Amino acid sequence: MIVGSLRKGSINREVANALIALAPAALRLGIVEIGQLPIYNQDEDVSPPAAWTSFRERIKSADAVLFVTPEHNRSVPAALKNAIDVGSRPYGASAWNGKPGAVVSASPGAIGGFGANHHLRQSLVFLNVPAMPQPEAYIGGADKLFDADGKLVNDDTRKFLQGFMQTYAKWIIANSN
């Protein structure tokens, strides 16, 4: 899992933690951090920063990739776009290639990060990540769904996220090589 927000109190991290708690037992989930990745610069690919190398290896070792992201200015947050770019290079050795994916976006706003969700899907098409089409997950009003300890307190959202993860588990199996 990759969380597109770097901040400590991130709603999207709370969503990610809820998804981990609600996932079927067959899925072993973990968050791969992206905040430590230097901004991608192709010049560095001859001698890449250690953080890039370990990130690429971590993604390569995963069977699937699940993105949970906020929307920044109607698009993908820069930190997440950077992680996608880092993982996609060097050319011909993309860590993302063929991994079954899914996208969840969450925002305090009413449209739940729809713009970020779909801009991210545009990159995933190019990266040959089959991204689960349904259920779509635009979590609006997301600041009202968790208590002060980051616990999910909305039953409808809990049911929705649980169903999402059950469908995603099937998607992974159906799209694995």
Query: What gap in Å lies between CA 56 and CA 58, rounded to an integer?
Result: 5
Sheet with 2-3: strands ordered across:
2-3, 65-69, 101-106, 138-139
N-terminal to C-terminal alpha carbon distance within the chain: 19
How many other C-beta atoms lie within 10 A of the C-beta of residue 77? 22
Shortest spacing between CB 105 and ligand FNR, in angstroms: 9
> Contact 145/154 with Cβ under 8 angstroms?
yes
Binding pattern for the stretch 24-63 against ligand FNR, x by CB under 6 A and - elsewhere: ----------------------------------------
By CB under 6 A, the residues from 73 to 92 that bind ligand FNR are: 73-74
Sole window of 46-54, 92-100, 102-110, 147-155 interacting with ligand FNR (rule: CB under 6 A): 102-110
Confirm or reject binding of residue 101 to ligand FNR (CB under 6 A): no
Confirm or reject binding of residue 5 to ligand FNR (CB under 6 A): yes
Of positions 17, 37, 59, 72, contacts ligand FNR by CB under 6 A: 72
Instruction: Specify burial of residue 110 (Cβ count, 10 A radius: 0-12, 13-18, 19+).
Output: exposed
Of positions 7, 144, 159, 170, contacts ligand FNR by CB under 6 A: 7
Q: Which is nearer to ligand FNR, 78 or 93 (CB)?
A: 78
By CB under 6 A, the residues from 106 to 125 that bind ligand FNR are: 107-109, 113
Shortest spacing between CB 85 and ligand FNR, in angstroms: 19
Of positions 1, 2, 11, 132, contacts ligand FNR by CB under 6 A: 11
Q: Which residue has the tokens 């770019």?
A: 85
In order of 31, 41, 164, the CA distances from 48 in angstroms are 22, 9, 36
Shortest spacing between CB 149 and ligand FNR, in angstroms: 15
Give the residue among 170, 84, 75 at the shortest CA–CA distance from 129. 84
Residues in touch with ligand FNR (CB under 6 A): 5, 7, 10-12, 70-74, 107-109, 113
